[in-house]
Amino acid sequence: MATQHSRSAARVMISPAVLLLLAWMLIPLGMTLYFSFQRYNLLMPGAHPWVGLMNYKLFIQNPAFWTALINTLLLVGGVLIATVVLGVLLAILLDQPMWGQGIVRILVIAPFFVMPTVSALVWKNLFMNPVNGLFAWLLPKLGMAPYDFLTQAPLASITFIVSWQWLPFATLILLTAIQSLDSEQMEAAEMDGASALSRFWYITLPHLSRAITVVVLIQTIFLLSVFAEILVTTNGGPGNASTNLTYLVYARSLLNFDVGGGSAGGVIAIILANIVAIFLMRAIGKNLDA
């Protein structure tokens, strides 16, 4: 039973966290919004005239925006599909009885702990480099022509690198979920003569739906903001071929010093992230309350 006294004590204990987060959200957000209506470039000192929706118009009319938008969706979608599909298969495999299960699990989750700049540079140089990379040696052995991954297929290569980083996360969560599956139900289905495929389809997959939703939600939050991997591999290029929205706003803001335009882009990025978030929260809300 909470007394009046303990309630007010609780309020005091919660308020620092709430106030700090509120400030962290509102002050920068307000500033972004404010700047987005001004003509404001750090290289041009002087007044920052009010220009209405001009920055938004310019940002959206720029073909780079649409390229970046599509790239963002392709990157997020590609990584989600790869990590969820492979994650489910890998989780099922790791759940089987085997020797050295603990060690295999350690090997599988390791990429998650590698910092983004390291994994991107290792893949870029040690593996994908068209002259010295391991793939440059391996492909001819397999009868294939040498291939410059980050130049000829930059977005697909980055999608691959990011998938490698996030596969462990999906696998670990799905494995945790699989391990809570009722084995008696499985055995009953097996005795009734259900095939492995139909057991997977009618028992395992429905059981995993909640965990899959969680994986999709959390990965989407992080994947919309992929940045370091692009910065150190392709710098968004060639052209805009591997520029996502985060990178485009960064380039506009800190490379072109265009505060107004960058802010408009930032607001657009926030709106898009929120649209995705609403969809996901709704999908997850159903799943999480159960």
* Chain residues 6-45 in contact with another protein, contact rule CB under 8 A: 6-7, 9-11, 13-14, 16-18, 20-21, 24-25, 27-29, 31-32, 35
172 part of the interface to another protein, by CB under 8 A: yes
The CB-of-243 to another protein minimum distance in angstroms stands at 12
Q: Interface residues for another protein in 260-279 (CB under 8 A)?
A: 262-263, 265-267, 269-270, 273-274, 277
Residue (of 167, 181, 196) closest to 90 by Cα position: 167
In the structure encoding, which two tokens stand for residue 60, read together? 């959206």
**Distance separating alpha carbons of residues 147 and 12, to the nearest angstrom:** 61
CB-wise, 144 or 270, nearer to another protein? 270
DSSP character for 122?
A: I
Q: Is the CB of residue 176 less than 8 Å from the CB of residue 162?
A: no
Q: b or e along 8-29 (b: 16 or more beta carbons within 10 Å of the residue's beta carbon)?
A: eeeeeeeeeeeeeeeeeeeeee
- The smaller minimum CB distance to another protein, of residues 61 and 132, is found at 132
What minimum distance in Å lies between the beta carbon of 223 and another protein?
11
Q: Per CB under 8 A, which region of 51-59, 75-83, 142-150, 254-262 contacts another protein? A: 254-262
> 92: which 2 tokens?
């099922």
Q: Decide: is 163 part of the binding site for another protein (CB under 8 A).
A: no
**Considering beta carbons, is residue 78 or 163 the nearer one to another protein?**
163
Q: What is the rounded distance in angstroms from the CA atom of residue 171 to the CA atom of residue 158?
A: 20
User: Which residue bears the tokens 């919004």?
Assistant: 33
What residues between 63 and 92 interact with another protein by CB under 8 A? 90
- Footprint of another protein on 194-223 (CB under 8 A): 210-211, 214, 218, 221
* Closer CB to another protein, 34 or 202, in the complex: 34
* Binders of another protein in range 87-126 (CB under 8 A): 90, 93-94, 96-101, 103-119, 121-126
41, 60, 74, 127: residue in contact with another protein (rule CB under 8 A): 127
Between 155 and 208, name the residue whose CB sits nearer to another protein: 208
In the 8-state DSSP scheme, what is residue 203? I
> Which of 189, 194, 203, 228 forms a contact with another protein (CB under 8 A)?
228
DSSP reduced 3-state for 124: helix
In the complex, the smallest distance separating the C-beta of residue 284 from another protein, rounded to whole angstroms, is 8
CB of 277 to another protein, least distance (A): 4
* Contact between 230 and 157 (Cβ < 8 Å): no
- Which residues does 3 contact at the CB level (< 8 Å), separation at least 6? none
Q: How far apart (Å, rounded) are the C-alpha atoms in residues 108 and 111?
A: 7
